[in-house]
């Protein structure tokens, strides 16, 4: 599932091609994937996009007048920009014809969602925590207040947004912390180190265009190149890059979590 670096990569690839482009035609192919009243879709017509931003793992495109088109890619969703055909026929859920190009929402597993909301109305991205780059003392204190495993706290989007399984495992490895440790067992220094590790690994991933395991591509069809640089995620049984101990995989908070049993304590 795309996490902060992958979603940010989509946003960065979309910005130069959709900003200022107006919506000239709308084809809604899968109503259950698209959330928003029919009248709002009508109102979107003719409106140019004024901004493309990321909030947690959401992509938010604001049109003139304040309508917000929000996307969550979940497992396999892609937001694609194409100058012209051929378009992917199967699994295409939304097709927006823009002034010059085409914006397509494509998702074979259909877990992704597209929301069209009027300004100020309640949105699924309300109540998200800050992302690791904006997080501060309040997030560290929240982790250290809770009994849940730190892995679960990292994945809780209300505390901190944008982190998923890959970068949670990578940051825990860098910080030398086991995924199953209760949040309240972390020292202030460990919590600080973990947040710093999250920022570092996400910054590096951004430089490589994110991580592609199976599905991820940015809006222009580029895959991320960070997968080969992951230290622990998906590497169960391989030697720890730091101490050579075979990496172990446990289920923590319902998610597979790979870690080094020697240098993560």
Interface residues toward Zn ion, by CB under 5 A: 240, 242-243, 245, 260, 262-263
Q: Which of 54, 57, 144, 181 is catalytic?
A: 57
Give catalytic status of residue 149 as yes or no: no
Nearer to Zn ion, 93 or 235 (CB): 235
Give catalytic status of residue 238 as yes or no: no
Is the separation of the CB atoms in 235 and 247 below 8 Å? yes
∠ at Cα 75 (77, 115), nearest 5°? 50
Q: Which residue is nearest to Zn ion (CB)?
A: 240
Nearer to Zn ion, 127 or 239 (CB): 239
Give catalytic status of residue 255 as yes or no: yes
Nearer to Zn ion, 51 or 244 (CB): 244
Cis peptide leading into residue 128 (ω within 30°): no
Rounded to a whole number of angstroms, the minimum distance from the CB of residue 178 to Zn ion is 11
Rounded to a whole number of angstroms, the minimum distance from the CB of residue 262 to Zn ion is 5
Q: Which of 15, 146, 242, 255 is catalytic?
A: 255
Give catalytic status of residue 3 as yes or no: yes
Q: Which of 2, 5, 149, 179 is catalytic?
A: 2
Instruction: Kindly list the catalytic residues.
Output: 2-3, 57, 255
């Amino acid at each position: 599932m795309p996490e902060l670096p992958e979603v940010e990569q989509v946003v960065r690839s979309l910005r130069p091609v959709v900003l200022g482009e107006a919506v000239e035609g709308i084809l809604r192919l899968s109503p259950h994937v698209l959330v928003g009243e029919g009248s709002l879709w009508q109102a979107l017509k003719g409106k140019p996009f004024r901004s493309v931003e990321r909030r947690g793992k959401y992509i938010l495109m604001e049109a003139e007048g304040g309508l917000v088109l929000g996307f969550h890619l979940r497992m396999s969703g892609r937001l694609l920009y194409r100058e012209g055909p051929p378009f992917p026929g199967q699994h295409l859920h939304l097709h927006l014809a823009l002034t010059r190009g085409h914006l397509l929402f494509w998702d074979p597993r259909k877990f992704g969602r597209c929301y069209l909301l009027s300004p100020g109305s309640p949105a699924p991205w309300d109540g998200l925590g800050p992302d690791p780059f904006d997080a501060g003392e309040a997030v560290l204190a929240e982790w250290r207040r809770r009994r849940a495993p730190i892995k679960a706290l990292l994945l809780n989007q209300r505390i901190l947004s944008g982190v998923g399984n890959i970068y949670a495992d990578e940051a825990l490895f860098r910080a030398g912390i086991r995924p199953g440790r209760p949040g309240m067992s972390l020292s202030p220094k460990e919590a600080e180190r973990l947040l710093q590790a999250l920022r570092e690994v996400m910054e590096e991933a951004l430089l490589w265009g994110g991580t592609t395991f199976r599905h991820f591509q940015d809006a222009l069809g580029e895959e991320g190149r960070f997968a080969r640089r992951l230290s622990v995620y998906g590497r169960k049984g391989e030697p720890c890059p730091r101490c050579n101990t075979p990496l172990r995989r446990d289920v923590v908070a319902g998610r597979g979590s790979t870690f080094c049993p020697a240098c993560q304590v």
